Amino acid sequence: MHPFARKAAAAALAANNQGKYWEFSHKLFENSSNLSDSKIQDIAQQLGLDVEKFNRDLNDASVQYLINKDISEAGKASVQGTPTIFVNGKALKNRGGNEFQELLETELKKKKVN
């Protein structure tokens, strides 16, 4: 896991409380090599968030609960990283080539048979 992943997840969820999840997430990925507490604050200001509310939400127990829940569910599903793609409960192992399309077609054929 990226050393700043948990803080980044909390920041995205805090931004979501102000309707800016996708914008914030995009900025996090753009800056993934230099994430820090100050970069998180910079992004919040750039996006025009209420920084006081953002910081309260960033440390809110409900945000931490959601992150812990996601980590737990990912572990149960043997998710090793993001993104992980599932089709009918089967994880896509190799994201290169045509495997995704082949897996989809296989699963769709099964549906037509049933």
Is there a single domain that holds both residue 94 and residue 43? Answer: no
- Show the tokens assigned to 22: 């996708």
Could you tell me which residues come within 8 angstroms of residue 29 by beta carbon, excluding any fewer than 6 positions away?
none
> In tens digits, what is the pLDDT along the chain, a chain of 114 residues?
678 899 999 999 999 999 999 999 999 999 988 999 999 999 999 999 999 999 999 999 999 999 999 999 988 988 887 778 888 887 887 767 688 888 888 888 886 665
Instruction: Please report the pLDDT score of residue 81 as a whole number.
Output: 78
Domain count, the chain: 2
Instruction: Please report the pLDDT score of residue 98 as a whole number.
Output: 81
Is there a single domain that holds both residue 112 and residue 59? Answer: no
Backbone φ, ψ for residue 96 (5° rounding): -90, 170
Is there a single domain that holds both residue 70 and residue 17? Answer: yes
First vs last C-alpha separation in the chain: 40
Closest Cα to residue 15, out of 70, 52, 68, 57? 57
Instruction: Please report the pLDDT score of residue 114 as a whole number.
Output: 57
